[in-house]
């Protein structure tokens, strides 16, 4: 969300075109090594001074491959590699990396760095956007030659087991028979730690990275391959001091959970769970969990809110901040202009158990996003949501949300909007093109050919949002408790009745043990996010059979609930995200502001304006977002598809910052493409089926939307279309753009635990009913974006809070549970009543449709 959406495309996603005409880096340059005669297809990342747009490097980077003779027809698992990276010290400065699958997550990563005249390498693996761990599968690298001089290092190597991988059951490959492979690269200027020993090397986050489609031409495969591979004789191991590599402590603290890593994990012994029980245990302190905790505690219920991550905002004890905020009550999470920092340093903040970017800190997405805050478009409820959740049902809930968090499109306390040149360029064009300027939150239903200034949840020049409102009032009550740094592993249940949750410490201070809900009447609400809540259901024996089998085969297996109590539901299906398609323009009037620089070394004027008056550019979310604009496209299938465009003052796709703007198109309501989330043997979630552009009319809407925008902006003097450029048709641009989550996601993941009336136990698509209760249970609820049946117009944070307000109404209206008397039904394939039996009775199965208390 917000910053997420922007910086994934900025830092992780660019120049990602398979089509040769669209980006130089895709087209191979044939290179013959003069010493060995090895012929490579190589791809070149250009060198520029700044590196700042994320797709260029300091000093350049070149990667090449030579494949086995049949490598273009039969998928190879090995290759001969060429890697040349910049480094300005022969001792140890910097490193570079190649993702052999494209994305950073769930792909084999090869890292290389110069050390003491040699080049050392390591195979690594990342399950999330945090420090990678050592790869545990079978991959070997044998060197053919290496050279290190004062500016570059160059390695020729034989890489075996490198194009298909298996990290504890998380498998993948990069097929070489498709005439192109998708690759990623990264470059860091700072030297790694423990550079002498590859088995314990660690590193800070890289400065630049990208993903690209690398076209393989006929030169890539060669009959001499075996001969060349035989030149690889040098195994360079570094110096690990003889002893087993001592794993260094990294920011990845994993409590007592066993991770996939061969490096030892810091083991935190948890605080034993106290004996108190709670009317409600809410898992996840984000946009869903915080409002619910407040509403339920206000109603007099005892509430425990459990957050996996650490505190974020200074208000709750967060500490992460740049030096210039020392001595204030603010952290990086509180200052809107610093939200970008997540893309420079996400360690300890991004979840490590999902291959997507998600905030594992108090506040969740609302702690790390750009704070965009939209009054829900009524049609979003009416189109996608079931009875009870239509716009008329939601309006009171939305009203309460916006009375507590009104939001503002003038976040600076002095009322001024700063650096509006980019806004003005595009707005003038849209206006001339017949689009209407609106105040978005005054007319939330006007989302066709309209544009607006960006509304944020910010207040008083700070982030604000749920953490500054709902959590403050909840926290003031004695019947509310907040635990942070604590992971919920699973719910504990007897049949369909939940008695508590099992917790583990995520970091020091976290709890360990089982915490129970109030007997008979207590309830558990999962608000752990689209991936987090779905994962919790799977670990609790609730989900599709194939996924529960994976959990059974994992480290959870021995203590997992018996398969006779598994509840079959389509958890993980119906996954959706806004499909992102980036476009770039430039115009001489645009003025860029360096929000990254503001972290280390803020402009003194801007700093004091912020510190003294909560005013200035730093009250606006990085990177100067706006205008926001909307379009609706009528499809040949009769469906109207919603587009939201987010413009920001920054280059991408290789266009330098300065005079450029990126306009990201989100395809939302009406999109029919859906994907799937699954779980790996190491209990990490992955997006295994992409939810992007699987449907022809979804693709056509994306194309038409760009054409409509080009048409609207056609009379803006001196505006240059960089992507797509004047020589590229919109059809070619869209059809040739790589569809990978790395470049197409918006990180507005929804839908994995769909709400609906068609009970998933009986072949329906729904995981939760219209009270947000999980089918097949009587006191387990899910309230977060995972229950959205389909996508909405805008960034979803305010919708999630609205859903939480509505869920409060529904959940609190449910009758208090009563245990079944003798002979009462207590289970069954379509049973929706109580799953409890009175004391002394046991729920006894007659057949799959009927169990009774005996």
Ligand X SMILES: *[C@@H]1O[C@H](CO)[C@@H](O)[C@H](O)[C@H]1NC(C)=O
Report the catalytic residues.
Answer: 748
Contact map string, positions 587 to 616, toward ligand X, x by CB under 6 A: ----------------x-xx----------
Residue from 277, 421, 448, 720 in contact with ligand X (CB under 6 A): 448
Nearest distance from C-beta of residue 188 to ligand X, angstroms: 11
Nearer to ligand X, 68 or 363 (CB): 363
Nearer to ligand X, 58 or 212 (CB): 58
Nearest distance from C-beta of residue 409 to ligand X, angstroms: 20
Q: Which residues contact 28 (CB under 8 A, 6 or more apart)?
A: 41, 42, 43, 214, 215, 216, 217, 219, 220
Eight-state DSSP code of residue 342: G
How do strand 109-115 and strand 95-99 relate by DSSP bridges? antiparallel
**Contacts from 191-195 at CB under 8 Å and sequence distance 24+?**
191/92, 191/93, 191/94, 191/95, 191/113, 192/92, 192/95, 192/111, 192/113, 193/248, 194/248, 195/92, 195/113, 195/115, 195/120
Q: How far is CA 286 from the centre of its chain?
A: 15
Nearest distance from C-beta of residue 234 to ligand X, angstroms: 19
Other CB atoms within 10 A of residue 823 CB:
10
The DSSP-derived string for 197-222 is -GGG-B-PPPSEEEEEEEE--GGGB-
Residue from 294, 307, 334, 769 in contact with ligand X (CB under 6 A): 334
Nearest distance from C-beta of residue 148 to ligand X, angstroms: 8
**Span from 313-321, 529-537, 667-675, 678-686 in contact with ligand X (CB under 6 A):** 313-321
Nearer to ligand X, 154 or 777 (CB): 154
Q: Which of residues 170-229 bind ligand X (CB under 6 A)?
A: 189
Other CB atoms within 10 A of residue 757 CB:
12
- Whole-number CA gyration radius for the chain: 27
313 binds ligand X (CB under 6 A): yes
Residue from 50, 718, 735, 818 in contact with ligand X (CB under 6 A): 718
Nearer to ligand X, 434 or 840 (CB): 434
Nearer to ligand X, 48 or 825 (CB): 48
329 binds ligand X (CB under 6 A): yes
Phi-psi group of 822: left, alpha or beta (phi > 0 → left; psi -120 to 50 → alpha; rest → beta): beta
Nearest distance from C-beta of residue 449 to ligand X, angstroms: 4
**Span from 84-92, 211-219, 260-268, 347-355 in contact with ligand X (CB under 6 A):** 84-92
Nearest distance from C-beta of residue 848 to ligand X, angstroms: 12
393 binds ligand X (CB under 6 A): no
Nearest distance from C-beta of residue 586 to ligand X, angstroms: 12
The kind and range of the H/E element at 630 are strand 625-634
Phi, psi angles (nearest 5°) of residue 92: -175, 95
Nearer to ligand X, 73 or 151 (CB): 151
Nearer to ligand X, 605 or 757 (CB): 605
330 binds ligand X (CB under 6 A): yes
Q: Which of residues 143-162 bind ligand X (CB under 6 A)?
A: 149-152, 154
Residue from 32, 88, 439, 608 in contact with ligand X (CB under 6 A): 88
Residue from 168, 279, 502, 632 in contact with ligand X (CB under 6 A): 632
449 binds ligand X (CB under 6 A): yes
Residue from 417, 520, 640, 829 in contact with ligand X (CB under 6 A): 640
Interatomic CA distance for residues 754 and 768, integer angstroms: 6
CA-CA-CA-CA torsion sign (81, 87, 90, 94)? negative
Nearest distance from C-beta of residue 816 to ligand X, angstroms: 35
Phi, psi angles (nearest 5°) of residue 418: -95, 150
563 binds ligand X (CB under 6 A): yes
* Tokens describing residue 617: 């550019």
Contact map string, positions 22 to 61, toward ligand X, x by CB under 6 A: ------------------------------------x---
Please tell me whether residue 500 adopts helix, strand or coil conformation: strand
Nearer to ligand X, 68 or 776 (CB): 776
Contact map string, positions 265 to 304, toward ligand X, x by CB under 6 A: ----------------------------------------
Cis peptide before 623 (omega within 30 of 0): yes
In angstroms, the Cα distances linking 255 to 130, 271, 485, 537 are 16, 11, 9, 21
Edge-first strand order for the sheet with 579-586 is 436-437, 450-452, 625-634, 640-648, 660-667, 579-586, 720-723
**Span from 158-166, 312-320, 521-529, 789-797 in contact with ligand X (CB under 6 A):** 312-320
380 binds ligand X (CB under 6 A): no
Nearest distance from C-beta of residue 808 to ligand X, angstroms: 25
712 binds ligand X (CB under 6 A): no
Eight-state DSSP code of residue 237: -
Q: How far is CA 773 from the centre of its chain?
A: 26
Q: Which residues contact 226 (CB under 8 A, 6 or more apart)?
A: 68, 69
Phi, psi angles (nearest 5°) of residue 715: -100, 10
Tell me the site size for ligand X, rule CB under 6 A: 29
**Span from 218-226, 326-334, 530-538, 735-743 in contact with ligand X (CB under 6 A):** 326-334
Nearest distance from C-beta of residue 107 to ligand X, angstroms: 27
Instruction: Find tokens 């266009």 and name the residue.
Output: 655
Strand partners, 450: 436, 630
314 binds ligand X (CB under 6 A): yes
717 binds ligand X (CB under 6 A): yes
Instruction: Find tokens 């910053």 and name the residue.
Output: 3
634 binds ligand X (CB under 6 A): yes
* Cβ–Cβ < 8 Å for 376, 804: no
Nearer to ligand X, 329 or 830 (CB): 329
Residues binding ligand X (CB under 6 A): 58, 84, 88-89, 149-152, 154, 189, 313-315, 329-330, 334, 448-449, 460, 462, 563, 603, 605-606, 632, 634, 640, 717-718
């Amino acid at each position: 969300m917000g910053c997420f959406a922007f910086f994934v495309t900025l830092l992780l996603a660019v120049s990602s075109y398979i089509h040769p005409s669209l980006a130089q880096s895709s087209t191979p340059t044939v290179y013959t090594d003069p010493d060995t005669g090895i012929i490579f297809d190589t791809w070149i990342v250009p060198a520029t001074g700044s590196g700042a747009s994320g797709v260029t490097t300091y000093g350049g980077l070149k990667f090449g491959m030579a494949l086995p003779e049949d490598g273009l027809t039969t998928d190879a698992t090995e290759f001969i590699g060429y890697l040349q990276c910049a480094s300005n010290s022969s001792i140890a400065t910097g490193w570079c990396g190649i993702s052999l699958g494209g994305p950073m997550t769930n792909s084999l990563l090869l890292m290389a760095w110069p050390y003491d005249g040699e080049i050392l390498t390591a195979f690594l693996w990342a399950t999330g956007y945090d420090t990678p761990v050592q790869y545990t599968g079978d991959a070997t690298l044998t060197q053919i030659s290496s050279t290190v001089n004062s500016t570059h290092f160059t390695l020729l190597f034989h890489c075996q087991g490198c194009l298909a991988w298996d990290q504890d059951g998380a498998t993948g490959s990069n097929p070489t028979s498709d005439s192109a492979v998708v690759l990623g690269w990264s470059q860091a200027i700072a030297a790694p730690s423990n550079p002498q020993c590859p088995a314990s090397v660690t590193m800070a986050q890289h400065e630049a990275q990208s993903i690209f489609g690398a076209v393989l031409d006929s030169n890539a495969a060669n009959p001499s391959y075996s001969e060349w591979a035989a030149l690889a004789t040098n195994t360079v191991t570094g110096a690990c001091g003889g002893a087993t590599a001592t794993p260094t402590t990294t920011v990845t603290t994993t409590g007592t959970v066993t991770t996939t890593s061969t490096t030892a994990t810091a083991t935190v012994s948890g605080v034993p769970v106290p004996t108190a029980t709670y009317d409600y245990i809410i898992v996840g302190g984000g946009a869903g969990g915080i409002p619910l905790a407040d509403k339920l505690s206000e109603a007099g219920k005892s509430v425990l809110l459990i957050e996996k991550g650490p505190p974020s905002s200074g208000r709750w004890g967060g500490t992460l901040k740049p030096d210039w905020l020392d001595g204030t009550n603010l952290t990086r999470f509180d200052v809107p202009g610093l939200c970008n920092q997540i893309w420079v340093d996400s360690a300890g903040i991004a979840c490590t158990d999902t291959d997507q970017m998600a905030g594992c800190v108090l506040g969740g997405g609302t702690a790390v996003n750009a704070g965009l805050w939209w009054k829900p478009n009524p049609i979003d409820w009416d189109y996608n949501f079931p009875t009870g959740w239509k716009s008329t049902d939601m309006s009171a809930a939305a009203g309460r949300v916006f009375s507590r968090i009104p939001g503002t499109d003038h976040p600076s306390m002095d009322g001024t909007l700063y650096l509006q040149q980019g806004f003005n360029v595009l707005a003038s064009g849209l206006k001339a093109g017949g689009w209407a300027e609106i105040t978005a939150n005054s007319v939330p239903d006007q989302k066709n050919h309209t544009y607006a200034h960006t509304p944020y949840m910010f207040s008083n020049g700070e982030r604000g949002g749920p953490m500054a409102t709902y959590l403050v009032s909840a926290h003031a009550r004695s019947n509310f408790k907040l635990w942070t740094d604590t992971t919920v592993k699973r719910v504990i249940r007897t049949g369909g009745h939940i008695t508590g949750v099992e917790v583990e410490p995520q970091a020091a201070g976290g709890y360990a043990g089982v915490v129970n809900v109030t007997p008979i009447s207590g309830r558990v609400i999962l608000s752990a996010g689209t991936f987090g809540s779905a994962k919790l259901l799977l670990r609790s024996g609730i989900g599709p059979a194939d996924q529960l089998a994976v959990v059974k085969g994992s480290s959870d297996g021995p203590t997992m609930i018996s398969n006779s109590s598994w509840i079959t539901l389509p958890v993980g299906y119906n996954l959706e995200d806004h499909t992102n398609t980036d476009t770039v323009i430039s115009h001489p009037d645009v003025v860029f502001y360096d929000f990254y620089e503001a972290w280390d070394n803020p402009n003194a004027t801007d700093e004091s304006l912020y510190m003294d008056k909560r005013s200035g550019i730093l009250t606006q979310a990085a990177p100067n977002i706006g205008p926001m604009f909307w379009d609706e496209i009528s499809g040949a299938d009769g469906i109207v598809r919603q587009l939201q465009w987010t413009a920001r003052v920054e280059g991408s796709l290789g266009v330098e910052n300065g005079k450029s703007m990126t306009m990201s198109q989100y395809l939302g309501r009406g999109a029919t493409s859906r994907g799937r989330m699954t779980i790996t043997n190491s209990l990490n979630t992955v997006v295994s089926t992409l939810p992007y552009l699987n449907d022809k009319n979804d693709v056509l809407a994306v194309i038409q939307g760009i054409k409509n925008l080009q048409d609207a902006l056609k009379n803006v003097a001196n505006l240059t279309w960089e992507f797509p450029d004047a020589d590229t048709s919109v059809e070619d641009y869209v059809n040739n753009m790589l569809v990978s989550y790395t470049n197409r996601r918006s990180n507005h993941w929804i839908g994995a635990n769909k709400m609906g009336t068609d009970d998933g136990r009986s072949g329906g698509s729904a995981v939760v009913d219209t009270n947000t209760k999980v089918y097949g249970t009587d006191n387990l609820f899910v309230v977060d974006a995972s229950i959205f049946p389909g996508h909405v117009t805008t960034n979803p944070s305010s919708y999630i809070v609205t859903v939480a307000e509505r869920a409060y109404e529904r959940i609190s209206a449910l009758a208090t549970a009563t245990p079944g008397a003798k002979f009462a039904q207590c289970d069954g394939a379509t049973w929706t009543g109580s799953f409890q039996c009175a004391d002394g009775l046991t729920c006894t199965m007659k057949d799959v449709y009927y169990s009774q208390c005996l």
